[in-house]
Amino acid sequence: MLVNDILRKKRDGGELSADEISFFVDGLADVSIPAEQVSALAMAVFLNGMTSKEAGKLTMDMANSGVVLNWRDAGLEGPVVDKHSTGGVGDKVSFLLAPIAAACGCYVPMISGRGLGHTGGTMDKVESIPDYNATPDFSLFRKVVQDVGCAIIGQTEELAPADRRFYAIRDITSTVESVPLITASILSKKIAAGLDALVMDIKVGSGAFMSSMDEARELAGSIISTAAAAGLKTHALITDMNECLGTTAGNALEIAESMRFLAGDEREPRLNEVVMSLCAEMLVASSLEKDRDKALARTDAAVTSGKAAALFDRMVIGLGGPPDFVASHRQYLPVAPVTVAIHAAESGYLTAVDAFQAGNAIIELGGGRRQLGDTLDLAVGLSDVAAVGERVDDERPLAVVHASSEDAVAAARGLLLEACTVAAEPPAARPVICETMTAN
C-alpha cells in the first residue's frame, strides 16, 4: 500500500477503507510514515472530514496501537471513570476534579496531554510540581490509583502511541479543530485507559477549538456515539470558554490556584460551577448517584471536608513529589522574575474577551509551545485575571502578567489589550454550563 495513494484519496474527498486506516495508524506508531505525510493526511481530513465509520476505525486503531489497561483484576471498590476536556485557557479542572471524584468513590486514572495550539496542557502544568513523576511505569500508576483513588499522569510511550505522535504533529500544523480527529484523539486514549465511564467537557467559545454551539454539539454527538460503539458510556457537558476559566492562566500559576481551591481559600464561581457539575456528572455516568443534586452535594462536601485536598497530597507523594504540597505549594512552585499589572486604556466593564488571544499571550510569554519540542517556562502566565462583567480601572487591572523579562511583558500586554473589550455598561450574564448531552 502506498501512503501517497491514501493521501490522494482523502485529498479528493474519498472514504478510506479499514485497511488504509490501519496502514496509516501502524505507520504513525512505528514512525515509518514521515511527519510530512502525516501532516498532509491531517490537513486532508481537516478539509474533507471523515465518515463516522472512518472516525470509529481511526479511534480503535489508535487505542490499540499500544497498551490497553485493564482494571478488572485491580480489586477496586468503585467505578473507573475519567473526565476529558477539549481544551481551553486557564482550564485547571483536572487538578480539582480528580481528587474530588476520588473522594466520592470513583477511581480516576487520568492520562493527560500536553498543551495543544493556544490551550494549556494538564501534563505540562503538573510538571511544575517538583519531583512529580508524570510518566511513571504502569505498575506505579496502577498502585497510586488503587491506593489513593486518582493519579494524573501524562501520555506515556506505551499508551496510544499513534495518537501521541499525531497529536504533536496536528498541534503545529493548524489541524486540531476537526471533529473526527478530536474524537479519535480523545477516545483512543480513554479507551486505552480501560474506563467504565467518561465525562467530556466540550468547551465552546473564543478560547475553544469549537467556537459555536452547533460545532460543540456536533463534537459531543460524535464523541458520545463513537464511544458508545466502543462500549464506553459517555456523557458530555458543553461549557463556556469565552474567557479564562478561573483567575489564572499559565502552568505553575494554575497549579497554585488549584491548591487554593482545594484548601478552600479561593473558589472562583465559574471554575467552581464547572468542576462541581463535571464531578457530579461523573457520579451519575458511573451510576454512583442517580440524582444530580445529591451528586452535587457530595462533590461539594469532598472539598469542604478537606478530603479532596488530602487525596491530592497523597497522589503527589505517591508520584514522588513533596509531602505537603497543597498547604506549602508556594514554596515549591517556580516564580517568574517580572510581574506587571496590565490596566485597560479606559475604565469600565469588561464586556468580552478573545480567549484565543489570551492563550496566545501565554505562548508569547514562553508558557506554551510554538513548535514541536519547545521547552516551556512553567512560571510565566497571567494571574488576577478579571472576569467578564467585572469593573476594571486604574486600581483593578485586566490581569497581572508574570514574565521572564520586561520585553516579554510588552508583547503579552499588546495581545491582552487586544483581547479585552471594555465598555461603559456591564454585559448580560452568560451561563457557564451551556448544555448536558448523554446517549439516548
List C-alpha distances in Å: 428 to 333, 347, 352, 392, 425. 37, 18, 11, 16, 9
**Strand runs labelled E in 241-347:** 338-342
Catalytic residue of the set 10, 57, 83, 329: 83
- List the one residue from 56, 79, 113, 359 that touches ligand URA (CB under 6 A): 113
| Cβ closest to ligand URA, residue 94 vs residue 247 | 94
> Whose CB is nearest to ligand URA?
185
By rule CB under 6 A, what string of x and - marks binding of each residue 148-177 to ligand URA?
A: -------------------x--------x-
In whole angstroms, the minimum distance from the beta carbon of 106 to ligand URA comes to 20
Catalytic residue of the set 170, 298, 369, 402: 170
* Candidates 181-189, 243-251, 324-332, 431-439; binding stretch for ligand URA (CB under 6 A): 181-189
> Is the C-alpha dihedral spanning 287, 289, 290, 293 positive or negative?
negative
Q: In whole angstroms, what is the distance from residue 254 CA to residue 248 CA? A: 6
Catalytic residue of the set 92, 164, 190, 267: 190
Active site (annotated) includes residue 190: yes
- List the one residue from 65, 86, 122, 258 that touches ligand URA (CB under 6 A): 86
| Cβ closest to ligand URA, residue 166 vs residue 325 | 166
Burial class from Cβ neighbours inside 10 Å (0-12, 13-18, 19+) for residue 340 reads middle
Q: In whole angstroms, what is the distance from residue 316 CA to residue 156 CA? A: 18
| Cβ closest to ligand URA, residue 126 vs residue 186 | 186
**Residue 186 touching ligand URA (CB under 6 A):** yes
Residues in the chain: 440
Q: In whole angstroms, what is the distance from residue 376 CA to residue 395 CA? A: 31
Active site (annotated) includes residue 299: no
Q: In whole angstroms, what is the distance from residue 262 CA to residue 279 CA? A: 14
- List the one residue from 63, 182, 191, 420 that touches ligand URA (CB under 6 A): 182
Catalytic residue of the set 61, 82, 196, 354: 82
Q: Which three cell numbers stand for residue 53?
A: 465509520
**Residue 116 touching ligand URA (CB under 6 A):** yes
**Is 340 in contact with 149 (CB distance < 8 Å)?**
no
Catalytic residue of the set 57, 118, 189, 329: 189
- Give SS3 for 259: helix
Q: Which positions are catalytic? A: 82-85, 122, 170, 185, 189-190
Enumerate binding residues for ligand URA (CB under 6 A): 86-87, 113, 116, 167, 176, 181-182, 185-186
